[in-house]
Structure 1
Amino acid sequence: MTRSPNGSLAALVSASGASHKRLAHRVNQLAAGAGRPTSYTHTSVSNWLAGMIPRQPVPALLAQALGERLGRAVDVAEIGMAPSHPDDAGGLEFSRDPADAAAQAANFWRNMHRRSYLRRAFVVSAFALPVTRWLIHPAAAAPTHAGGQRVGQKELDELWEQAEQARQWDARYGGANWRTGQVVDCLTNRAAPLLAGRATQSVSNGLHSAAAELSRLAGWAAFDAGDHALAQEHFVQALSLARAGDNAELGAYVLATMALQTMRRGYPTEAIDMAQGAYERSGRDASPRVRAFTQLIEARANARTGDERAAARALARCERLLDAARETESPTYIAYFGPARMASDAVEIYRDLGKPQVAASWDAQATMPAGHTRAVGLRLSVTATAHLQAGDLDQGLAVGRRSVDILAGVSSDRAREYVSDVDTALAPWAREPRVREWRDHAHRQLRGGLNG
Structure 2
Amino acid sequence: MLTDPLRIPADVWSDRVVCELLSRRDIGGLFCRLIRLTGASQTRIGAAVGLEQGYVSRVLGGRKITSIEVLERIAKGLDMPDESRVALGLAPTRWPCHHDMARPAEQRQSDTPVDRRWRDDLRAAVRLWEGDVNRRDMIRQTAFASSSYTLPALRWFTAPSGPPVNASGRRTVGQPDIDTIREMSATYRRLDNQYGGGHVRDTVARYLHQEVTPLLTDGQYDTRTGRSLLSATAELTQLAGWQAYDLAEHGIAQRYLTLALDLARAADDAGLGAEILAAMSHQATYLGQAAIGIDLARAARQTARRVGLAVLAAEAYVMEAHAHATARDEGACATALHQAERTLDRADRSGNPQWLSYFDEAYLSAKFAHCFHALGKASPAERFASRSLNMDERYVRGKAFNLALLASVQLRRGEPERACTIAAEALTLTAQLRSSRAVRYVRDLQAQLAPHRTRPVVRQFITRVDTALGTRR
Q: Normalising by structure 1, what TM-score?
A: 0.78
Instruction: Assess, with a 3 A threshold, how the Cα gap between structure 1 residues 257 and 286 changes in structure 2: closer, same or farther.
Output: farther
Contact 2:212 2:233 in 1 (8 A): yes
Distance of aligned partners of 1:13 and 1:175 in 2 relative to their CA distance in 1, 3 Å threshold: closer
The question of whether the paired residues in 1 share the 8 Å contact of 2:290 and 2:324 is answered with yes
One-letter code aligned to 1:438? F
Q: Which residue among 433, 438, 447 is the counterpart of 2:461?
A: 438
Report deviation, 1:231: 0.6
Q: After the TM superposition, which residues 305-316 of structure 1 pair with which residues of structure 2 at under 5 Å, given as runs? A: 305-316=327-338
**Bigger Cα Rg:** 2
- Counterpart check, 1:340 vs 2:362: yes
User: Aligned partner of 1:260: which letter?
Assistant: H
> Are the structure 2 counterparts of residues 369 and 269 from structure 1 closer, same or farther at C-alpha, using a change threshold of 3 Å?
same
CA distance in 1, matches of 2:448, 2:321: 23
**Counterpart for residue 46 of structure 1:** 62
What are the Cα deviations for residues 189-235 of structure 1, in whole angstroms up to 9, with x where unaligned?
Answer: 22222223222322211111111010011011111111111111111
Q: Of residues 268, 281, 304 in structure 2, which corresponds to 1:259?
A: 281
Contact 2:126–2:209 at 8 Å: present in 1 too? yes
Contact 1:221 1:231 in 2 (8 A): yes
What amino acid is aligned across from residue 109 of structure 1 in structure 2? W
Q: CA 1:408/1:156 → structure 2, altered by over 3 Å: closer, same or farther?
A: same
1:320-335 matches, cutoff 5 A: 320-335=342-357
1:296–1:43: structure 2 CA closer, same or farther, 3 Å change rule? same
Residue 141 of structure 1 contacts residue 246 of structure 1 at CA under 8 Å; is this kept in 2?
A: no
Residue aligning to 2:241: 219
State how far apart, in whole Å, the 2-side matches of 1:181 and 1:157 are.
21
SS of 1:426 mapped into structure 2: helix
- Displacement of 1:108: 2.1
Aligned length: 397
Structure 2 partner of 1:33: none
Task: Determine if the alignment matches structure 1 residue 362 to structure 2 residue 362.
Answer: no
Q: What is the CA deviation profile of residues 410-444 of structure 1, one whole-angstrom value per residue up to 9, with x for unaligned ones?
A: 00111111112212322432433432221110111
1:309 Cα deviation from its structure 2 partner = 2.0
Shift of 1:102: 2.1
Q: Secondary structure, in 3 states, of the residue corresponding to 1:198?
A: strand
Residue 409 (structure 1) aligned with residue 429 (structure 2): no
Query: In percent, how many aligned pairs have the same letter?
Result: 29
SS of 1:257's partner is: helix
Amino acid at match of 1:340: A
Structure 1 window deviating more from structure 2 (213-222 vs 197-206): it is: 197-206
Distance 1:148 1:256 in 2: 37
CA-based RMSD of the aligned residues comes to 3.6
CA-CA distance at 1:282 after TM superposition: 3.8
In structure 2, the CA distance between the partners of 1:182 and 1:114, relative to structure 1 (3 Å rule), is: closer
Look up the equivalent residue of 2:369 and give its one-letter code: V
How far is the alpha carbon of 1:328 from its aligned partner?
Answer: 3.9
Distance (Å, rounded) in 1 between the aligned partners of 2:382 and 2:318 = 18
Instruction: State whether residues 321 and 334 of structure 2, in contact with CA within 8 Å, keep that contact through their aligned partners in structure 1.
Output: yes
Correspondence list, 1:190-229, <5 A: 190-196=211-217, 197-229=219-251
Give the counterpart of 1:149 among 158, 171, 174: 171
Once residues 108 and 252 of structure 1 are traced to their aligned partners in structure 2, the CA distance between those partners, rounded to angstroms, is 22
Q: Deviations over 1:132-152 (max 9, x none)?
A: 111214976742113332111
Structure 1 window deviating more from structure 2 (186-195 vs 294-303): it is 186-195
Contact 2:165-2:222 within 8 A present in 1 as well: no
Unaligned runs of 5+ in 2: 7-12, 14-18, 34-57, 71-77, 93-112
Per-residue deviation at 1:405? 1.0
| Counterpart residue identity of residue 381, structure 1 | A
* 1:48 to partner: Cα distance: 9.1
Question: Does the CA-based 8 Å contact 2:143-2:252 persist in structure 1?
Answer: no
Question: How far apart, CA to CA, are the structure 1 residues paired with 2:114 and 2:208?
Answer: 18
- Deviations for 1:287-324, whole angstroms, at most 9, x for unmatched residues? 11222221121111111011122122222222223223
Structure 2 contact 243–253 (Cα < 8 Å) conserved: yes
Whether 2:126 is the aligned partner of 1:110: answer no
Question: Which structure has more RCO (C-alpha within 8 Å, separation ≥ 6)?
Answer: 1
Q: Partner letter of residue 182 of structure 1? A: T
Q: More displaced, 148-157 or 110-119?
A: 110-119
Q: TM-score, normalised by structure 2?
A: 0.75
Instruction: Sort the Cα spacing of 1:100 and 1:14 in 2 relative to 1 into closer, same or farther, 3 A.
Output: closer
User: Does structure 2 retain, via aligned residues, the 8 Å contact 1:142–1:245?
Assistant: no
Aligned counterparts of 1:169 and 1:438: Cα–Cα separation in 2: 28
Match for residue 402 of structure 2 among 353, 358, 379: 379
Counterpart CA distance in 1 for 2:215 and 2:239 is 18
Distance 1:412 1:442, change over 3 A: same
Quick check: 2:117–2:163 contact (8 Å CA) kept in 1?
no
Structure 2 SS opposite 1:46: coil
2:205 counterpart (184, 202, 206): 184
| Cα distance in 1 for residues equivalent to 2:282 and 2:309 | 19
What does 1:262-273 align with in structure 2 at a 5 Å threshold?
A: 262-273=284-295
For each residue in 1:48-71, what CA deviation from the matched residue of structure 2 results, as whole angstroms up to 9, or x when unmatched? 97x9xxxxxxx9xxx999977869
Contact 2:271 2:309 in 1 (8 A): yes
Note closer, same or farther for the CA distance 1:201–1:120 as it changes in structure 2 (3 Å cut): closer
Runs of 5+ unmatched residues, structure 1: 29-41, 52-58, 74-92
Q: Secondary structure at the match of 2:392?
A: coil
Task: Work out whether residues 231 and 267 of structure 2, in 8 Å CA contact, stay in contact via their aligned partners in 1.
Answer: yes
Supply the AA of the counterpart residue of 1:399: I
The counterpart of 1:231, out of the listed 224, 236, 253, is 253
Q: Does structure 1 conserve the Cα–Cα contact (< 8 Å) formed by 2:26 and 2:64?
A: no
1:285 paired residue number: 307
Contact 2:173–2:221, Cα closer than 8 Å, also in 1: yes
**In structure 1, C-alpha distance between the alignment counterparts of 2:335 and 2:160, rounded to whole Å:** 25
